[in-house]
Amino acid sequence: MSQTQGKKALTRAGLWRWRRNPLRRGSDLVEAWVLLAAWVLALVGGALVGMVAASAANRTFDRQRAERQEVTATVVQNTRRAVDTEGAASGSGTGDDLSWVTVRWKARDGAEHMGRTQAAPNTRPGTHITVWTDRHGLLAAQPLEPAEAQVEAALLGTMATAFTGGAVWLSAYGVRKRLERRRMAQWDEEWERIDTRWGRKTG
């Protein structure tokens, strides 16, 4: 069989549910519509969800860059070496070699705050370090740079697209399995009727 003939055969095999024929059941047509809807929702819906997620992430990152600011804080106490630095507000140190310190700073409205952030292990009380604060004057993580925010938003959009497509196809798979069980049950009923008729004829 040539490549062209093979493609035609696959096309006929995929479209037979849409054509009128004595072997087509109602469940076959339902399955065809389910597959078509799954393709449309997975491709179009997934793309839309991904774009919305990426746009929302970009707006969040833009708002963080607009609201957060650097302020100078004074170290009050150097408590202990940090074990896990993820999610903490940035101090003057970098990498894993950081320790928790208690700092004091003033917000935009002049109110004085105290909190804990991370700095180099040898940071002494009285040392001035730079920290990031949010619009309420509380410690916050350093906002992403525009280029980093674009990459992060793209990753979030891609994940949202993949999740949406996977959810759609998982739902379609569940519907197909139910239709298949129903189809097999119908086949069993018809074979039982045929066996009964044959039994009557031979009897």
150 and 64 within one domain: yes
Residue among 183, 161, 177, 178 at smallest CA distance from 53: 161
First to last CA, the chain: 48
**Cα–Cα distance, 93 to 127 (Å, whole number):** 13
Q: Any idea what DSSP says for residue 139?
A: B
What CA–CA distance (Å, rounded) separates 195 from 67? 78
Residue 156 placed within a domain = yes
Query: How many angstroms separate the CA atoms of 170 and 35, rounded?
Result: 11
Is residue 115 in some structural domain? yes
Residue 120 shares a structural domain with residue 166:
no
Q: For residue 196, give the H/E element and its range.
A: helix 146-202
The pLDDT tens digits for 40-77 are 888 899 999 999 999 999 999 999 999 999 999 999 98
87: left (phi over 0), alpha (psi -120 to 50) or beta: left
In the DSSP assignment, the letter for residue 110 is S
Structural domain harbouring 60:
29-68+143-176
Residue 9: predicted pLDDT: 44
Residues 40 and 132 in one domain: no
Our count of domains for the chain comes to 2
Last residue of a domain, one of 110, 138, 166: 138
Cβ neighbors of 93 (< 8 A, separation 6 or more) are 99, 118, 119, 120, 121, 123
Task: Indicate if 94 and 44 belong to the same structural domain.
Answer: no
pLDDT at 197: 65
pLDDT for residue 87: 44
Q: Are residues 159 and 62 in the same domain?
A: yes
Residue of 113, 131, 134, 133 lying closest to 123 (CA atoms) = 131
CATH at 92: 2.40.50
Q: Indicate whether 35 belongs to any domain.
A: yes
State whether 57 and 110 are in the same domain. Answer: no
Would residue 23 count as lying in a domain? Answer: no
In this structure, is residue 44 part of a structural domain?
yes
Q: Is residue 107 in a domain? A: yes
Query: Over the stretch 176-196, which tens digit does the pLDDT of each residue have?
Result: 888 777 777 777 676 777 666
User: Same structural domain for residues 84 and 116?
Assistant: yes
Same domain, yes or no: 81 and 56: no
35 and 58 share one domain: yes
| 132 and 80 share one domain | yes
**Judgement on whether residues 168 and 85 belong to the same structural domain of the protein:** no
Residues lower than pLDDT 70 in the chain: 1-29, 79-96, 188, 190, 194-203
